[in-house]
Amino acid sequence: MPDSLEVATVSPDETQRLAKKIGQILNEGDIILLSGELGAGKTTFTIGLARGLGVRSPASSPTYTIINEYDGRIPVYHLDLYRLESLEEMEVIGYEEYYFGKGVTVVEWGDKIESSMPEDYLGIDLKRLAGDDNSRSFVFKGSSAKIDGLVKSISKIAKEIGLSVKEDG
Ligand code: ADP
Ligand code: MG
């Protein structure tokens, strides 16, 4: 059973602090699929992640362009699939260049391509928490032993910065 980990944040700043620390431990070839409704915090998280990867000024969501590339300590490919209507469109984008490239790939609306992912990836499900506009839950899911290792590291990071953490597996 892959491990899963749930972390809660109580502000956008806290989300970015968590994401930045995660960005610092990512490596070439890592793929992250973010899933969750509009406003869940996918872009906020991605910006923090990019900062942790050494990107100076990550743009906001690339909704109209589908892909943004940022220069960090390694390249960061930020995809937003909000407007993606079919998996065939992914072929047109030439996504393999991103997935198999020498960088970190972060995908908003990643659930749209989850079923066809050929590689290991870290899945993160984001949602609002009831009762507080500024609370969000992040569920991190491993899809392989390698990613389970990453999930364990994220658990450690979340505890170090004092976030509330629930573990399973
Ligand atoms: P998405 O990309 O999933 O549509 P965004 O990151 O663009 O979501 O927007 C999230 C919105 O929610 C932002 O306006 C952000 O300031 C707000 N927000 C409030 N609390 C949080 C939190 N804990 N984490 C992330 N964003 C939060
Ligand atoms: Mg977004």
pLDDT digit string, tens, across residues 155-167: 999 999 999 999 8
- The rounded distance, in Å, linking the Cα atoms of 161 and 169 is 22
Ligand 1: does its nearest atom lie under 6 Å from the Cβ of 128?
no
Ligand 1: does its nearest atom lie under 6 Å from the Cβ of 136?
yes
What per-residue confidence (pLDDT) applies to 118?
Answer: 73
Taking only the tens place, the pLDDT of each residue in 94-143 is: 777 766 678 999 999 999 999 888 778 999 999 999 999 999 999 999 87
What per-residue confidence (pLDDT) applies to 63?
Answer: 58
Taking only the tens place, the pLDDT of each residue in 50-101 is: 999 999 987 766 556 678 889 999 999 999 999 888 888 887 777 777 666 7
Q: Which atom of ligand 1 is nearest to the CA of 60?
A: 7
Ligand 1: does its nearest atom lie under 6 Å from the Cβ of 40?
yes
Ligand 1: does its nearest atom lie under 6 Å from the Cβ of 21?
no
- The rounded distance, in Å, linking the Cα atoms of 15 and 159 is 13
Q: Ligand 1 test: best mutation among 17, 43, 44, most atoms within 8 Å of CB?
A: 44
What per-residue confidence (pLDDT) applies to 68?
Answer: 87
What per-residue confidence (pLDDT) applies to 1?
Answer: 45
Helices (H), 26-167: 42-52, 87-93, 96-99, 145-160
Instruction: Report the separation in Å between the CA atom of 150 and the middle of ligand 2, taken as the mean of its atom positions.
Output: 23
Ligand 1: does its nearest atom lie under 6 Å from the Cβ of 44?
yes
Q: At what angle do helices 42-52 and 12-25 cross, to 10 degrees?
A: 40
How much is the pTM?
Answer: 0.94
Tokens representing 168 are 């399973």
Q: Which atom of ligand 1 is nearest to the CA of 46?
A: 6
Other C-beta atoms closer than 10 Å to the C-beta of 137 total: 18
Ligand 1: does its nearest atom lie under 6 Å from the Cβ of 107?
no
Taking only the tens place, the pLDDT of each residue in 21-34 is: 999 999 999 999 99
